Amino acid sequence: MKLSTDFTLSKFIDTEKLAAYYELTKPGITFSVLASMLVGFLLASGNNIDYVLMLHAAIGTYLIAAGTSAHNQFLEWRLDGKMKRTQKRPVPSNKITPLQSSAFSLSFIILGLVYLLFVVNFVAGLVSLATTLLYLGAYTPMKRVSVANVFIGAIPGALPPVGGWAAAAGHLGSLDMWLLFGIVFFWQIPHVMAIAWVCKDDYSNAGFVMLPKNDENGTKAVALILGCLIVLLPICWGLFASGMSSWIYLSGALLSTLVFLFYGVHFALSRSKESAKQLMFASFGYLPLIWIFIFIDILF
């Protein structure tokens, strides 16, 4: 009699359920938050990088960012079920129950907050707490009330590099730190508005109040998008002017911003769904490129 030796992982662990929980954390957003935090940490550290502290900051940030993203999906699972782009997410597709998603997300948020407060420092913990509270307590419900949600949501979206700075320096008193905040803040508004324009029917069906719903000809959207993209130019230059970065960063950052602005102008001229989609994809690449140039600058 032959004994089976097929001891695969799936026999002991529900891999589909595990994958669903991982999807619940919105990995793309969570790792973007982590990258932004690391940029702030490294720039605040200068030539004295504490790699152990950086690892602790990364662990705490990952936990609270993953938990925040997961809890957002718990809060909006019924609305997600009404939109094509989100109806296959873990909760509306019944891969995970609402109760399971809530318990999972709150556990991660609490664990991440405690970790940052007691292992990293108090200031970093408070920044992460503020990020979570603003995202879940202000931005998430505001999406169903007012188009002002795009500005409110840009605040917690821009706080991760501030959290990284706080983790390394233990304070928030730096112009360079707020320049990093400005880069993410003014990037995020065109980014979110481009997505809202592309998905405006989906958002409308779910009851989200995004700007296209009250701006059929795109006048307000164009003004905000172009205004933010233009403001990005001096902010990117400011990080160089302060002595924090070199010509390596400045050249790449300004070129990336000009390309981003080009797609913003293209949308302004046509105001079509296709041009909004092109602007959306340009926004996907913009922030990673800025961080890559900063990382290259740090290395060389």
> Which residue range(s) make up the domain with 195?
174-300
Q: Quick one: which H or E segment has residue 190?
A: helix 175-198
User: Same structural domain for residues 144 and 289?
Assistant: no
Angle, helices 160-169/27-45, rounded to nearest 10 degrees: 40
Going through the chain in order, the beta strands assigned E by DSSP cover: none
CA distance 223 to 228: 9
User: Same structural domain for residues 153 and 33?
Assistant: yes
User: Same structural domain for residues 163 and 292?
Assistant: no
Question: Which of residues 170, 200, 229 is at a domain's end?
Answer: 170
Domain count, the chain: 2
CATH of the domain at 192: 1.20.120.1780
| Digitized pLDDT (tens) for each residue of the chain, 300 residues in all | 444 444 455 566 778 889 999 999 999 999 999 999 999 999 999 889 999 999 999 999 999 999 999 999 999 888 888 888 888 899 999 999 999 999 999 999 999 999 999 999 999 999 999 999 999 999 999 988 888 889 999 999 999 999 999 999 999 999 999 999 999 999 999 999 999 888 877 777 777 777 555 666 778 889 999 999 999 999 999 999 999 889 999 999 999 999 999 999 999 999 898 999 999 999 999 999 999 999 999 888
User: Same structural domain for residues 24 and 149?
Assistant: yes
Tell me, what amino acid is at 209?
A: V
Q: Quick one: which H or E segment has residue 103?
A: helix 98-115
